[in-house]
Structure 1
Amino acid sequence: MSQDLPVTGYAILGLLTFGDELTGYEVKQRADMTLRFYWVAPAMSQVYTELRRLTDHGLVRGSTSADGGREVTTYAITEAGQRALRTWMDATPAGFPVLKHTVLLRLLVGHATEPDHTRRMLRDYLADLDTALADLTHVRDALRGADAPGEPFRFPSIVADWGLDYFAAEQRHTRRALDSLSEHGTAPEVGPPTA
């Protein structure tokens, strides 16, 4: 039954493993605060589609209550959901990540445009990296105190640290690419990267 789930379904199951019941909106907020740094955060409609699918499979249960005159449904992972997630984690290889790097794709064919456009793209990417680093630093700081071994946010804190290192490395590579593009727009030298 759980084989019918897309990876997003397992991601949502994982977001429900921290001991709290969440509304669909709260699942989306949690996804935006976590998944967006290393995976595609699902759209609101996709969150509700997956929650329905997970509920139909008995992997999540919904509880409806009244809140200020309107019905609110919260979701929690079931024992079957815990087992399905564990089976997916234990029996399915993670696979090698597919890098879809739009900046690198454009840099690859940078000769097809003006050098100033390529440099501007790289500077814009540096600004985006600054924002991502600031956002992820905020998330990482919020995990402090619950990130020790045995604590519920131990693994999310490791992912946040990994993400911070990744964004810092991206900054270094982007600056190196900018440095290699002279103001006269010559192509970067071809050769192995330096450490």
Structure 2
Amino acid sequence: MPRGDAAGLPPTGWAVLGLLSFRGGRTGYELKKWADSSLRFFYWSPAISQIYAELRRLESLGFATSRRSGPEEPRATRRYTITEAGRDALAAWADGAGDPGTPVLKHPLVLRVWLGHLAAPGTLRTLVEQHIERTRGELEEIRDARLRAEQAERAEEWAFPRVALSWSERRQLAELELAEAMLEDLDGLGEAGRGTCDVPPPQE
């Protein structure tokens, strides 16, 4: 059986295996729903097609196993569980001393603001206000998820997910603060900088 560091799993594979590491078997659909209410707050939520692709990979490596509830049932009723080999591989990966990597920042709103010299007056302010409302909604979802983790049976098993959700809550609070400051910055600009933006030539 391949070791965890030799399995060649992409980060999404480790994330799906991580979802399986908690108690109970789950269908691909259930894993997707859980990823949408947990992983996406601090990493990202894979598409359902990616989840099934990773589940097939995990099964081929012996890291997961599955069973159907009946021979004629559709794929959605196949339940997946982690194997001992999968748990050992995941533990080796989670406990590894290697650099997890640099966070990748892709902020579509800031990209639009960067091109604000080409935007109509008021457009950017509207976009930022919408982003603030969306962020407030995300914050409420995170708080709901953390509350469910706190009230779950065997709450001690959810201690580390609660830490991740607490980080996610603080991040969204910081995002709100940054967006509100951006509104003030935009208001301070007025009509300055609109139109064609002359970029100075690069220094030799």
The TM-score normalised by the length of structure 1 is 0.87
Moved more, 88-97 or 178-187: 178-187
SS of 1:22's equivalent in the other structure is: coil
Instruction: Tell me which residue corresponds to 1:93.
Output: 99
Alignment partner of 1:84 is 2:92: no
Instruction: Tell me which residue corresponds to 2:146.
Output: 140
Alignment partner of 1:15 is 2:19: yes
CA offset digits 1:86-126 (Å, max 9, x no partner):
22223342112111111122222222212311111111100
Paired letter, 1:66: G
Q: Given that residues 133 and 164 in structure 1 are in contact (C-alpha distance below 8 angstroms), is that contact kept between their aligned partners in structure 2?
A: yes
Alignment partner of 1:108 is 2:108: no
Instruction: Tell me which residue corresponds to 2:123.
Output: 117
**Number of equivalenced pairs:** 185
Distance 1:136 1:185, change over 3 A: farther
Q: Given that residues 31 and 41 in structure 1 are in contact (C-alpha distance below 8 angstroms), is that contact kept between their aligned partners in structure 2?
A: yes
Moved more, 153-162 or 91-100: 91-100
Q: Residues of 2 paired with 1:77 and 1:174: CA distance?
A: 41
Alignment partner of 1:53 is 2:57: yes
Identity of aligned residues (%): 35
Distance 1:147 1:22, change over 3 A: closer
Q: Given that residues 147 and 154 in structure 1 are in contact (C-alpha distance below 8 angstroms), is that contact kept between their aligned partners in structure 2?
A: no
SS of 2:70's equivalent in the other structure is: strand
Structure with the greater alpha carbon radius of gyration: 2
Correspondence for 2:161 among 156, 159, 163: 156
Paired letter, 2:115: V
Q: Residues of 2 paired with 1:48 and 1:29: CA distance?
A: 13
Alignment partner of 1:70 is 2:76: no
Correspondence for 1:4 among 8, 26, 30: 8
Moved more, 171-180 or 104-113: 104-113
SS of 2:81's equivalent in the other structure is: strand
SS of 2:69's equivalent in the other structure is: strand
Q: Given that residues 116 and 185 in structure 1 are in contact (C-alpha distance below 8 angstroms), is that contact kept between their aligned partners in structure 2?
A: no
CA offset digits 1:119-142 (Å, max 9, x no partner):
111111001101111111111111
Deviation, structure 1 residue 66: 2.4
Gaps of 5+ in 1: 188-195
Q: Residues of 1 paired with 2:107 and 2:164: CA distance?
A: 20
SS of 1:144's equivalent in the other structure is: helix
Moved more, 120-129 or 35-44: 35-44
* Larger RCO, structure (CA 8 Å, separation 6 or more): 2
Q: Given that residues 147 and 153 in structure 1 are in contact (C-alpha distance below 8 angstroms), is that contact kept between their aligned partners in structure 2?
A: no
Q: Given that residues 55 and 61 in structure 1 are in contact (C-alpha distance below 8 angstroms), is that contact kept between their aligned partners in structure 2?
A: yes
> RMSD of aligned C-alpha atoms?
2.1
Q: Residues of 2 paired with 1:115 and 1:172: CA distance?
A: 23
